[in-house]
């Protein structure tokens, strides 16, 4: 492991995720936009994060709220203009913030010009840019593949008299990344945004970018993965995603990004067994920098065994990629409503914050997580998410994690917009508004700021190796080390006080604590208490 100064800017970075529809509205239409983000960049800088990732703001029919792109090279009018984006990047760089944007390479909107041409005939110049297949003799789809949105992964198109494939909505046809012309077109998209000064890409659902050309049926999912809430969870997605050739595409992308300096690349990998895929996509210095999956996002609760299992997947072997961790995002119920529900709210949120900055890997913090926001209840008549509407009331959907940021308690619509917000803002969220918490030094917001500052000041927490410490049941303990610095991190995730003295306890300099007296840590660790501190070398 190199010295502090030798590390890339993104290694160990804390990245703030912005969901633009819900961050800040500048024009009163109830939908957040790019000028609204620019207006709040001082706030983001005040958190101490290294940069931020913006979910899609490209031209789109918004069937999946921007993840159905109809023009990769422009800003949707509801979010602003390219000039607005350029001003955002300029201001972010003035504040020493890196700008990361989404790239959706596995599929487009069905309104994209590429698809509109592709569907016209079987012999036009873009006829092979998407995944087309004939029906079976009985007219049924080519195979048993299922989409995430509870429908078959195939939709009939009468013009071509063929089915086209979509891992998501029928309005999101999958691109054929086996076609080099498609790859080249997407690499040109990357260059377009790199020329505008961005610092990195988050690659949405990139493991869905290639399919099995033989169109073989997916096998039935084993019991441990099987979930009958949706057909796609009843089979293993062996052939509709995670194709062995995908890393070659990522290598081509890395060649492009290398030409623009130290550009950050992170893959989203959603599949029942993500670790081998993430390892493959980040192996060596010629693919992506890092990857994350739903390992924490999908965990219903926080246990010692689960955390250790996830961390053990990234031991730091030669040529191994660098991990990233998200506890909440726009696709998952907020972590404050999933983990440690028997614990008082403030202590719960602060313990989770300390854990996230202590883990080895990048930390992605979703907007509002720093405020301790819980999952909102959105009534059926206000739902926007197609997944929530389709599966109502059997799944939580995603709207509850996408409600607008509360900026102030007494402002119109919590200071988010002067118009009616696209999703409702809960009264409980308004009570946790930024302005209110800003003035309270013991608030969740200010605790997050202190934890991020601690991580940035500690090479061990930012870059260091991780070694598990043997501890009593329900206690998660590990040491992060880099150079001469060693940081001991201890979390009691159980409901009982534990009497335990970890290695290095006697010369421990406590730097952060939750539910524990920071100035007098004793051998007794109270239920759901946690602390982190520097211990002597050796």
Residues catalogued as catalytic: 204, 268
pTM listed for this prediction:
0.96
Residue 167 near residue 230 (C-beta atoms within 8 A):
no
Q: DSSP secondary-structure letter at 269?
A: -
Percent of the chain predicted with pLDDT > 70: 97
The CA distances from residue 401 to 163, 330, 424, in Å, are: 34, 6, 11
Q: Which residues pair with residue 530 across a beta bridge?
A: 491, 514
The CA distances from residue 39 to 47, 55, 97, 132, 444, in Å, are: 15, 17, 14, 45, 22
- Domains of the chain are 4-109+180-453 (3.20.20.80), 466-535 (2.60.40.1180)
Name which of 286, 310, 229, 315 is nearest 1 in CA terms: 315
Written as six digits, the tokens of 196 are: 């505008």
Task: Please write the tens of the pLDDT for every residue from 120-130.
Answer: 999 999 999 99
DSSP letters for 299-349 = -SS--HHHHHHHHHT----TT--EEEEES-BTTB--GGGTS-TTS-HHHHH
Residue 518 pLDDT level (bands cut at 50, 70, 90): low
The CA distances from residue 84 to 5, 34, 192, 201, 431, in Å, are: 34, 6, 16, 19, 31
CB atoms within 10 A of CB 504: 18
| CA atoms in the 13 A half-sphere facing the CB of 6 | 5
What number of helices (H) and strands (E) belong to the chain?
A: 14, 20
Task: Please write the tens of the pLDDT for every residue from 212-249.
Answer: 999 999 999 999 888 877 889 899 999 999 999 999 99
pLDDT surpassing 60 at residue 481 = yes
E strands, 126-242, are 132-133, 154-157, 162-165, 200-203
Residue 396 pLDDT level (bands cut at 50, 70, 90): low
Name which of 229, 208, 206 is nearest 387 in CA terms: 229
Written as six digits, the tokens of 215 are: 């169109």
Question: How large is the greatest C-alpha to C-alpha distance in the chain, in angstroms?
Answer: 75
CB atoms within 10 A of CB 280: 20
| CA atoms in the 13 A half-sphere facing the CB of 91 | 19
In whole angstroms, give the CA distance from residue 114 to residue 119. 9
Give kind and range of the element (H or E) at residue 450.
Answer: helix 444-457
Looking up tokens 């997944």 gives 387
Report the 3 state secondary structure along 471-520.
CCCCEEEEEEEECCEEEEEEEECCCCCEECCCCCHHHCEEEEEECCCCCC
| pLDDT reported for residue 410 | 84
E strands, 190-259, are 200-203
| pLDDT reported for residue 505 | 76
Name which of 378, 293, 381, 366 is nearest 335 in CA terms: 366
Query: Across the chain, what does the average pLDDT equal?
Result: 94
Residue 516 pLDDT level (bands cut at 50, 70, 90): confident
Q: DSSP secondary-structure letter at 244?
A: T
Residue 6 pLDDT level (bands cut at 50, 70, 90): low
In whole angstroms, give the CA distance from residue 410 to residue 435. 10
The CA distances from residue 394 to 101, 235, 412, in Å, are: 32, 19, 33
| pLDDT reported for residue 537 | 53
In whole angstroms, give the CA distance from residue 531 to residue 278. 30
Q: What is the mean pLDDT of residues 414-432?
A: 96
Q: What is the mean pLDDT of residues 477-503?
A: 94
Go through the chain and tell me how many residues it has: 538
Task: Please write the tens of the pLDDT for every residue from 254-286.
Answer: 999 999 999 999 999 999 999 999 999 999 999
Task: Please write the tens of the pLDDT for every residue from 83-142.
Answer: 999 999 999 999 999 999 999 999 999 999 999 999 999 999 999 999 999 999 999 999
| pLDDT reported for residue 538 | 45
Helices 274-281/246-258 angle, 10° precision: 40
Residue 107 near residue 100 (C-beta atoms within 8 A):
no
| pLDDT reported for residue 501 | 86
In whole angstroms, give the CA distance from residue 220 to residue 508. 51
Beta-carbon contacts of 359 under 8 Å, excluding residues fewer than 6 positions away, are: 311, 325, 466
């Amino acid at each position: 492991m190199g010295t502090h100064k030798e590390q890339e800017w993104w290694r160990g970075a804390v990245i703030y995720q912005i969901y633009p529809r819900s961050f800040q509205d500048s024009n009163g239409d109830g939908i957040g936009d790019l000028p609204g983000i620019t207006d709040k960049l001082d706030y983001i800088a005040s958190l101490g994060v290294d940069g931020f990732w913006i979910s899609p703001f490209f031209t789109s029919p918004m069937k999946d709220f921007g993840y159905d792109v109809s023009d990769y090279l422009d800003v949707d009018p509801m979010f602003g203009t390219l000039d607005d984006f350029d001003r955002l990047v300029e201001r972010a760089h003035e504040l020493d913030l890196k700008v990361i944007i989404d790239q959706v390479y596995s599929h487009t909107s069905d309104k994209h010009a590429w698809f509109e041409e592709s569907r016209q005939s079987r012999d036009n110049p873009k006829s092979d840019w998407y995944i087309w297949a004939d029906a079976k003799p009985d007219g049924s789809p080519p195979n048993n593949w299922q989409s995430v949105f509870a429908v078959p992964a195939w939709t009939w198109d009468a013009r071509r008299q063929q089915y086209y494939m979509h891992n998501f909505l029928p309005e999101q046809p999958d691109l054929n990344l086996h076609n080099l012309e498609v790859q080249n077109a997407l690499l040109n998209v990357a260059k377009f945004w790199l020329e505008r000064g961005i610092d990195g890409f988050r690659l949405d659902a990139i493991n869905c970018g290639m399919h099995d050309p033989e169109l073989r049926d997916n096998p039935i999912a084993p019991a441990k993965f099987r979930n009958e809430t949706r057909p796609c969870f009843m089979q293993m997605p062996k052939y509709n995603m995670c194709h062995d050739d995908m890393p070659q595409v990522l290598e081509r992308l890395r060649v492009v990004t290398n030409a623009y300096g130290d550009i950050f690349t992170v893959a989203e990998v959603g599949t029942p067994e993500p670790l081998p895929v993430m390892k493959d996509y980040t192996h060596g210095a010629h693919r992506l920098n890092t990857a994350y999956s739903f390992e924490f996002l999908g965990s219903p609760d926080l246990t010692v065994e689960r955390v250790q299992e996830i961390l053990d997947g990234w031991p730091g072997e030669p040529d191994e990629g660098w991990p990233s961790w998200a506890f909440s995002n726009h696709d998952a119920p907020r972590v404050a409503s999933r983990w440690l529900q028997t614990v008082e709210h403030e202590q719960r949120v602060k313990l989770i914050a300390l854990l996230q900055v202590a883990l080895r890997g990048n930390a992605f913090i979703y907007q509002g997580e720093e405020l301790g926001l819980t999952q909102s209840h959105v009534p059926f008549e206000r739902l926007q998410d197609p997944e929530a509407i389709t599966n109502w009331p059997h799944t939580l959907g995603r709207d509850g994690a996408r409600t607008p940021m509360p900026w102030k308690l007494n402002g119109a619509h919590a200071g988010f917009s002067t118009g009616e917000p696209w999703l409702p803002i809960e009264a409980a969220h308004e009570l946790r508004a930024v302005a209110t918490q800003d003035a309270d030094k013991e608030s969740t917001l200010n605790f997050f700021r202190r934890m991020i500052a601690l991580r940035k000041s500690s090479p061990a927490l930012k870059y260091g190796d991780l070694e598990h410490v043997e501890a009593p049941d329900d206690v998660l303990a590990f040491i992060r080390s880099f150079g001469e610095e060693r940081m001991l991190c201890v979390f009691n995730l159980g409901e009982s006080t534990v009497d335990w003295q970890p290695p290095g306890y006697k010369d421990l300099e406590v730097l952060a604590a939750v539910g524990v007296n920071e100035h007098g840590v004793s051998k007794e660790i109270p239920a759901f208490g946690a602390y982190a501190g520097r211990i002597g070398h050796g």
